Chains A and B, each alone.
Chain A
Amino acid sequence: MPSPSAAARLAPPAPAGVPAPALAPLVCRRCGARFDPGPVAICAECIGPLEPAYDPARRLPTRAEIEARPRSIWRYRELLPILGDPVVSLDTGFTPLVDAPALARALGVRRALVKNDAVSHPTLSFKDRVVAVALNAARSLGLETVGCASTGNLANAVAAQAARAGLGAWIFVPEDLELGKIVGTAIYGPRLVRVKGTYDDVNRLCAQVADRFGWGLVNLNLRSYYGEGSKTMAFEIAEQLGWRFPDAVIAPMAGGSLVTKLDKGFHELAAAGLAEGASPRIYGAQAAGCAPIVDLVSRGGEAITPVVPRTIARSIAIGNPADGAHAAAAIRGSGGDAQAVTDEELVEGIALLAATTGVFTETAGGVTVAAARRLARAGKLRPSDELVLCITGNGLKTVEAVTPALAAAPVIAPKLREVAALVGSA
C-alpha cells in the first residue's frame, strides 16, 4: 500500500466532469465590504485589497487528522479558500525542512533550518503553492484561460500547472529574464509574451489585460485566493518542527506577499490551537538594488517609495511592491526586521548555502542567506535563535548569476599522473 505521500504523488488531475469546489467569499481588508466569490481582487467600495472570508464556525482539523492526510498543501485545506476537495494540482507542497548545522555555525545562531522550496513540485519554487490554489479557484469560477505577470518562477508554475489542468495560459514576463526561466515556461506550451520593460511595466500591462480579456490572471484578479497558498509554507514549518514555532523566519521579498502570508499563517495556526508558542519574528530580505520594502521598514511610514530595479536578483526585482506596506507592518508587528544585500553578497549567499547544506538556490535564496548573515552579525538575529530560512527557488534556473564566481574546472588527459599532479597541487 503506498504511503500518503506516494498516494499524493500518484494522484492524477481530476477527470472532466468532476464538480469544481466552491470558493470562500471575499472581504475587503480595508473597509470590510463583503463580496461573492469571483475573479476580482479589488474592493469596489474603497479600492482596497480583497481577501477570503473564512467561516469562523467551520470545523478545523486536529493535528492527527492533518498528519493522516497526503503530504501536500491540501492537508491544511480548511485554512485555504477552496471549500471542499481541490480538483487540480493535488500534489504540491510539503517540501523538506532541512536541518543545517554548518550553516547555523556560519551564521552564529543556535540552529538553522532550510525550508527547501527549491525542490517544490512541479516547478522548483514556492510559486507552485500559490498557483495550486489559484488554479482551483479558476476551475471553481469556470475560467478556461489563466495567466500571470511574472519575474520567472510564477511563469514556470502557471505554465506547468495550467498544462496539466488543461487550461489555456497567457504568460507575460520582462524580456530579459534568465534563459532557464524562459525555457522552463515555454516548454509547457503557453502563450508566452516577453515585454520590453521591467516587471513593474509587465504588471501594469497585465492589470489592464485582466480587465479587458476576462482571463484569470493568478496574481491579479485571482490574487485574493492565490496569496493564501503562501500560508502553507508557515503551516508546514510549524508541523515539521513538531507543531511549534521557530524563534525567527527569514524570507525574500518581492511584492511582499510571502512575508505577509507567513505571518498570517503562523497566527492562524496559533489561533486554531494547532501550534504552540509565540509566533516567530519575521525578517525580510531584498537586494540593495531593489529594496523598497527594506527602505519602508527602516524609515517608518506607511507608503512605499517605488524604485527602478537594478539587481541580478530578477525574481525579486519588483520596484513597486503591491504588498510592501503590509509586509512592513507584518515585520514590525512580529518584532523582526528587514535587510538589503549587494549583488556580490547574494552570490556569496548562494555559495554559502550550497557549501553548508547541499542546497543550490537561485538569486532570491542567495539574498535570503546573505541577509541572515548580515542580521546575525548586527545582533538582530540572536545567538540563541532557532532560525528558518525560506529558500524559495532553485539555482539551476539562474546559473548566469553564479557562473562567473566559480573556478574553472581543470581539463586533463585520461591519465593517472595528471590526477596525481592535481592532487599534489591541491
Chain B
Amino acid sequence: MPVTLRLPTVLARNAGGQTVHEAKGTTVGDVVADVAARFPELGPRLRDAKGDPYPYVIFYLNDEDIRFQEGFATRVADGAEIVVVPAIAGG
C-alpha cells in the first residue's frame, strides 16, 4: 500500500495541479524524493540543496511533527499519510 503525501494548495501548481499524491518509500525523505522525482519544480520547495527539510516547511507523519521524531529519516509504514504545512500562524 503506498504512502499519501498531501501538499498545501499553494504548491499544487508545482505538482501537476494536484495536492494529493501517492508515493513509495520507507522514510519520509524517501517519499518526498519519490514525488520530487516526478515533479522537478516541487523538490526545491520542499527541501534544501542538501536534501534536508527547510525550517519553515513542516512535515507531519500521521499528524505527528517529524521534528519530534527522526526528521526525514523517520520511517513510514504502508498506508501512512504525510502532510506538508508551511510554518504560519500563532497566538
Chain B 54-91 against A: per-residue CB contact (8 Å), 1 yes, 0 no?
Answer: 11111010010101100000000000000101111111
Q: Which of B9, B60, B91 has the most CB of A within 10 A?
A: B91
Q: Which residues of A contact B9 (CB under 8 A)?
A: 211
- How long is the Cα–Cα vector from A41 to B90 in the complex, in angstroms? 13
B38 within 8 A of partner (CB):
no
Cβ A42 vs Cβ B90 within 8 A: no
- How long is the Cα–Cα vector from A304 to B90 in the complex, in angstroms? 14
Q: Which of A200, A201, A255, A322 has the most CB of B within 10 A?
A: A322
Q: Which of B10, B19, B45 has the most CB of A within 10 A?
A: B10
Cβ B90 vs Cβ A47 within 8 A: no
Cβ A207 vs Cβ B89 within 8 A: yes
- How long is the Cα–Cα vector from A258 to B90 in the complex, in angstroms? 10
A302 within 8 A of partner (CB):
yes
**Chief secondary structure at chain A's binding surface:** loop
B23 within 8 A of partner (CB):
no
Cβ A306 vs Cβ B68 within 8 A: yes
Q: Which residues of A contact B21 (CB under 8 A)?
A: none
Cβ B88 vs Cβ A49 within 8 A: yes
Q: Which residues 224-272 of A sit at the B interface, judged by CB distance below 8 A?
A: 254-258
A57-65, A134-142, A146-154, A378-386 - the one binding chain B: A146-154
Q: Given A40-B10, A47-B11, are A323 and B90 also a contact pair (CB < 8 Å)?
A: yes
Q: Which residues of A contact B13 (CB under 8 A)?
A: 44
Q: Identify B8's interface contact among A200, A207, A223, A257, CB under 8 A.
A: A207
Q: Measured between C-beta atoms, what is the minimum distance from A118 to chain B in Å?
A: 16
Contacts between chains A and B (CB distance < 8 A), count: 92
- How long is the Cα–Cα vector from A322 to B55 in the complex, in angstroms? 9
- The residue on B at minimum CB distance from A41 is B88
- The residue on A at minimum CB distance from B8 is A211
- How long is the Cα–Cα vector from A304 to B54 in the complex, in angstroms? 11
Q: Given A47-B11, A47-B54, A304-B55, are A322 and B88 also a contact pair (CB < 8 Å)?
A: yes
A318 within 8 A of partner (CB):
yes
Q: Given A254-B90, A257-B91, are A306 and B67 also a contact pair (CB < 8 Å)?
A: yes
Chain A 271-284 against B: per-residue CB contact (8 Å), 1 yes, 0 no?
Answer: 00000000000000
Cβ B67 vs Cβ A322 within 8 A: no
Q: Measured between C-beta atoms, what is the minimum distance from A30 to chain B in Å?
A: 8
Q: Given A47-B54, A204-B85, are A42 and B63 also a contact pair (CB < 8 Å)?
A: no
Q: Which residues of B contact A201 (CB under 8 A)?
A: 63
Q: Identify A208's interface contact among B45, B83, B91, CB under 8 A.
A: B83
- The residue on A at minimum CB distance from B86 is A42
Q: Which residues 291-345 of A sit at the B interface, judged by CB distance below 8 A?
A: 302-306, 308, 315-316, 318, 320-323, 325
Chain B 12-42 against A: per-residue CB contact (8 Å), 1 yes, 0 no?
Answer: 0100000100000000000000000000000
Q: Measured between C-beta atoms, what is the minimum distance from B11 to chain A in Å?
A: 7
Q: Which residues of B contact A257 (CB under 8 A)?
A: 90-91
Q: Which residues of A contact B6 (CB under 8 A)?
A: 208
- How long is the Cα–Cα vector from A124 to B10 in the complex, in angstroms? 35
- The residue on B at minimum CB distance from A258 is B91
- How long is the Cα–Cα vector from A87 to B46 in the complex, in angstroms? 39
A220 within 8 A of partner (CB):
yes
Q: Which residues of A contact B86 (CB under 8 A)?
A: 41-42, 47, 207
Q: Given A204-B83, A211-B9, are A150 and B57 also a contact pair (CB < 8 Å)?
A: no
Q: Measured between C-beta atoms, what is the minimum distance from A140 to chain B in Å?
A: 20
Q: Measured between C-beta atoms, what is the minimum distance from A393 to chain B in Å?
A: 11
- The residue on A at minimum CB distance from B85 is A207
Q: Which residues 179-230 of A sit at the B interface, judged by CB distance below 8 A?
A: 200-201, 203-204, 206-208, 211, 217, 219-220, 223
Cβ A149 vs Cβ B89 within 8 A: yes
Q: Which of A42, A308, A321, A323 has the most CB of B within 10 A?
A: A42
Cβ B88 vs Cβ A207 within 8 A: yes
Could you tell me which A residues sit within 8 Å of B by CB distance? Answer: 40-44, 46-49, 127, 149-151, 153-154, 200-201, 203-204, 206-208, 211, 217, 219-220, 223, 254-258, 302-306, 308, 315-316, 318, 320-323, 325
Add 12 more A-B contacts to A46-B45, A47-B45, A47-B56 (CB < 8 A): A41-B88, A208-B85, A211-B19, A254-B90, A255-B91, A303-B55, A306-B65, A306-B68, A316-B91, A322-B87, A323-B90, A325-B56
